[in-house]
Chain A
């Protein structure tokens, strides 16, 4: 729950409420498996060798830690206004508290059904908590926790991410938490 220290009621009432239910713009594809494995020099044969994937994972899967990428919007697409962002609740909170900067400090991911090429992933975001004003070496702002639940097109749970974000204003800019 939000601590009793300046959280506007219209923000506090969003705690625990699913928001921004959405389905991915595109189906899970193997190119991102290869890109992810290349970026991390990951030679796990379940991602590179179809015969191993067939034996071990009953066919190709995406690396589990790619969970969030399937819901990340294109940087631009026709008809979209402005920069497209994932984790909209995070950006809503930055705006609500007028905190221009933010970082993610903690992230817990639980992995359930494997994500497979061709899957169409959906998710929803739930604001879990907001801290009171805090000052760190980055600046002054607030911490918040956001859970994101991911399902596939069969409504099977494929994973849950829990993010702790810190929205802040650099102290040289003058703190206005």
Chain B
């Protein structure tokens, strides 16, 4: 995890280090239960394959969000504060898949209340297949003494 990323260290076009994770049935079930998602397609192979018509149990939406959070804040460090995430699941992620997270910086800005923002296009790919894309807007400190987590109310414009 980065100690503390500062806005001035980031530029449009920068890429983040990739993160590769081998998905197992435990990955899927652990993530579903951690997010209190009891729906059977995330733990019941027969339900997933015979009812949903998919290849296996698959990662649920909230758990994918948590993976994206982990990936982005690994890069920003603990002062990185998520403002917005928009993700689109194109195909499912199954046990046996090796999911690879990658990202590129698409915007760097300071808003009118002085908060530093980085926009990222994050991809979760499996082999050549893009499984999920995620547009992230994350606040990072504009200086060593800044901390986006201190912002409240009108000073926090997501």
Contact = CB atoms under 8 A, between A and B. Distances in A.
Given A39-B35, A108-B84, 20 more contacts: A32-B34, A35-B34, A38-B30, A39-B27, A40-B66, A42-B69, A42-B73, A43-B74, A46-B78, A63-B69, A65-B62, A65-B82, A66-B35, A69-B35, A72-B35, A72-B38, A106-B88, A107-B61, A108-B85, A109-B65
Consensus secondary structure, chain A interface: mixed
Name the residue among B68, B156, B158 with the largest chain A CB count within 10 angstroms: B158
Contacts of B158: 110-112
Contacts of B88: 105-106
B31 interface: yes
Interface in B66-114: 66-70, 73-74, 78-79, 81-89
Contact size range, A:
35 or more
A114 interface: yes
B53 interface: yes
Q: Lowest 6 A-B CB distances belong to which pairs?
A: A35-B34, A72-B36, A42-B70, A65-B65, A39-B34, A108-B86
Interface string A109-120: 111111000000
Contact of A75 (B38, B62, B65, B70): B38
Nearest to A100: B51
A115 B70 CA distance: 17
A40 B31 contact: yes
A2 interface: no
A39 B65 CA distance: 12
Interface of A: 32, 35-46, 52, 56-58, 63-66, 68-69, 72, 75, 83, 101, 103-114, 138, 170
19 contacts: A35-B33, A37-B70, A38-B34, A41-B70, A44-B1, A44-B78, A56-B147, A58-B149, A63-B66, A63-B69, A64-B81, A66-B62, A69-B34, A69-B36, A103-B89, A104-B61, A106-B87, A106-B88, A110-B83
A35 B34 CA distance: 5
B31 to A, nearest CB: 4
Contact of B52 (A101, A108, A113): A101
Interface residues of B, number: 42
B129 interface: no
B63 A39 contact: yes
A37 B83 CA distance: 19
A89 to B, nearest CB: 16
A46 B13 CA distance: 28
A72 B33 CA distance: 11
B26 to A, nearest CB: 9
Contacts of B69: 40, 42, 63-65
